[in-house]
Structure 1
Amino acid sequence: MFYRPENGHGLPHNPFNAIVSPRPIGWISTRGAGGAENLAPYSFFNAVAYEPPQVMFASTSAKEDRGDTKDSVANIRETGVFCVNIVEFGARDAMNETSGPWAKEEDEFSKAGVERADCTEIACSRVASAPANLECRVRQIVKLEGANNFAVFGEVVGVHIREDCLVDGIFDVTRFNPLARMGYRDYAVVRDVFALKRPGEA
């Protein structure tokens, strides 16, 4: 099968995000200028640089009460900060609850029963029980092709790691089983981990 996206695919559901998978999930927490907090998952998310450490996520839709975007990007435009909370398998239901099209005044931490803690370097809450949290200051918000597509790039200025996830100085993902996004309504969980040496490595 071959198709040009501009002409449609002819399938019952768009296969694009199923093809590009699994994708890590950035559970993004923000606080608006007025103090309202938001927590929402984004699967167009990844780390993009080491020095300084930087991450990105993309928002691809809009809400009527936010104009051309959603709560996360709207809050980031106001404050310039956000926190990435790593999603473990055990938090899958709470994460899914925060994905709803809730009003901008709705506090997803409370709605989903997620315990919050203060960030250290930025004025924002984080998911207290997350395996890790990345506190970020925005470096760029890039308008992408399409009416509501924005990529947000942030520099990581603070990192929280849950103590039980550190084993002999290594951040051990088998201790919490990261959740990943597939296509359609599908998710995956990381349970099997193996190592490979790059050519030329000692």
Structure 2
Amino acid sequence: MVVSVIPATVTDEERRTMLLGSIVPRPIAWTSTVSSSGVRNFAPFNFFTVVSNTPPMLSLTLECKQDGSEKDTLVNIKETGEFVVNVVSAPLIREMVLTSHGHHRDVDEFAVAKVTPVPSQTVSAPRVAEAPISMECKLVRITRPGSDSVVIGRVERFHFDESVIDTELHISPSVLCPVGRLGRTFSAIRSTSDICA
């Protein structure tokens, strides 16, 4: 038996539940920004993907806060045009969750999570020293095709921990051990397999 659902016939929350449970696993963009007044912000987003290879671009989709206002990450990106996407590995799950709690705009989530900010080379937002991969990004555009804002950024510089990348620039998923979302839960990819056609 197949359960068919017309999106317009269910609530926003039910639609969200179906989307988040169906599109899995979703990588997490642990995104660092800085406000125009210099306050660091750090939050995870799991509506995240590649947009283009040449030039290298990625997208983040940011929902509004429960009160309908824009999240601090979006406000900061609008103000500065810059952000850093840090990849979450399994050892960083706890720290990542600590940054997801919707702290006040003046709170430095780097301090909350007890992770180390490192100056970036092309943008004002810091990257995370403990993250195995970081991507410094400059804003290309922000669109709002529906209820959420889609941020498209161009990657200006990649940073890799030497343990996750080889001399041919191949990244080892088993060493990286990236964290993703599976519906309401998290998953970590610890092993992979090659499938030959």
The normalised TM-score by structure 1 is 0.89
- 1:1-202 matches, within 5 Å, as 1-8=3-10, 14-62=17-65, 68-146=69-147, 149-169=148-168, 170-184=170-184, 186-196=185-195
By how many angstroms is 1:31 displaced?
0.4
For residues 167 and 55 of structure 2, the distance between their equivalents in structure 1, rounded to whole angstroms, comes to: 25
For residues 6 and 108 of structure 1, the distance between their equivalents in structure 2, rounded to whole angstroms, comes to: 37
Aligned length: 192
| Residue type at the aligned position of 1:75 | N
SS of corresponding position for 2:17: coil
Whether contact under 8 Å (2:173, 2:191) holds in the other structure is no
Q: Which segments of 5 or more consecutive residues in structure 2 lack a partner in the other structure? A: none
After superposition, the CA RMSD in angstroms is 2.0
| Residue type at the aligned position of 1:93 | R
For residues 51 and 192 of structure 1, the distance between their equivalents in structure 2, rounded to whole angstroms, comes to: 29
Whether contact under 8 Å (1:85, 1:134) holds in the other structure is yes
The normalised TM-score by structure 2 is 0.91
By how many angstroms is 1:45 displaced?
0.3
By how many angstroms is 1:63 displaced?
6.0
For residues 74 and 98 of structure 1, the distance between their equivalents in structure 2, rounded to whole angstroms, comes to: 17
By how many angstroms is 1:173 displaced?
2.0
Residues 33/191 of structure 1: CA separation in 2 closer, same or farther (3 Å cut) = same
Identical positions, percent: 28
1:105-136 deviation per Cα after TM superposition (whole angstroms, max 9, x unaligned)? 01100001111101111111111111110000
Whether contact under 8 Å (1:177, 1:189) holds in the other structure is yes
Q: Which segments of 5 or more consecutive residues in structure 1 lack a partner in the other structure? A: none
Whether contact under 8 Å (1:63, 1:101) holds in the other structure is no
